[in-house]
Amino acid sequence: MEQEARIVINGGKPLFGKVHINGAKNAALAIVPAALAANGVCVIDNLPDIEDVNSLRKAITSLGAVCVQRDAATLEIDARNITRYAIGKEAVAHIRASYYFLGVLLGRFGKAEVPTPGGCDLNVGPRMIDYHMRGFKALGATTYQDEHVIRVEADKLIGADIHLDSPSVGATINIMMAAVYAEGVTTIDNAAKEPHVVDTANFLNRLGAKIKGAGTDTIRITGVTEMTGGDYTVIPDQIETGTYMIAAAITGGDVTVENIIPKHMESLSAKLRDVGCTVDEGLENIRVRVQGPLKSSNVRTGVYPGFPTDLQPQITTLLCTVQGKSTVTETIFDNRFLYTHELQKLGAKINVNGRAAKTCGSCTFTGGEVRAVDLRAGAAMVLAGLAAQGEVRIANIHHLERGYERFEEKFRALGADIQRVEINAMPGADGELRPLV
Residues found near ligand EPZ in the complex (CB under 6 A): 25-26, 29, 97, 123, 128-132, 166, 168-171, 192, 194, 309-310, 332-333, 375-376, 403
Q: Which is nearer to ligand EPZ, 168 or 285 (CB)?
A: 168
List of residues 6+ apart from 90 with CB closer than 8 A: none
Q: At closest approach, how far in Å is the CB of 399 from ligand EPZ?
A: 9
Q: Nearest residue by C-beta to ligand EPZ?
A: 170
Structural contact between residues 368 and 344, judged by C-beta atoms closer than 8 angstroms: no
Q: At closest approach, how far in Å is the CB of 334 from ligand EPZ?
A: 7
Buried b (16+ CB within 10 A) or exposed e, 11-39: bbbbbeeebebbbbbbbbbbbbbbbbbbb
Q: At closest approach, how far in Å is the CB of 276 from ligand EPZ?
A: 27
Question: Which amino acid does the sequence have at 77?
Answer: I
Q: At closest approach, how far in Å is the CB of 27 from ligand EPZ?
A: 8
Q: Which is nearer to ligand EPZ, 33 or 208 (CB)?
A: 33
Q: At closest approach, how far in Å is the CB of 91 from ligand EPZ?
A: 16
Longest Cα–Cα distance of the chain, Å, equals 65
Q: Which is nearer to ligand EPZ, 370 or 377 (CB)?
A: 377
Q: Which is nearer to ligand EPZ, 363 or 381 (CB)?
A: 381
For residue 54, give Cα distances in angstroms to 69, 76, 157.
Answer: 10, 13, 31
The SS3 assignment for 185 reads strand
Structural contact between residues 161 and 196, judged by C-beta atoms closer than 8 angstroms: no
Q: Which is nearer to ligand EPZ, 8 or 129 (CB)?
A: 129
What's phi and psi for 184, nearest 5 deg? 90, -160
Q: Taking the CA atoms of the chain, what radius of gyration do you get in angstroms?
A: 22
The torsion angle over the Cα atoms of residues 271, 276, 282 and 285, rounded to 10 degrees, is -70
Strand 278-281 relative to strand 254-258, pairing = unpaired
120 has catalytic annotation: yes
Half-sphere exposure of 19 (CA within 13 A, CB side): 33
Q: Which is nearer to ligand EPZ, 290 or 375 (CB)?
A: 375
Instruction: Please name the helix (run of DSSP H) or strand (run of DSSP E) that holds residue 380, with its range, or none.
Output: helix 375-387
Q: At closest approach, how far in Å is the CB of 139 from ligand EPZ?
A: 15
Q: Which of 120, 320, 360, 363 is catalytic?
A: 120
Residues classed as catalytic:
120
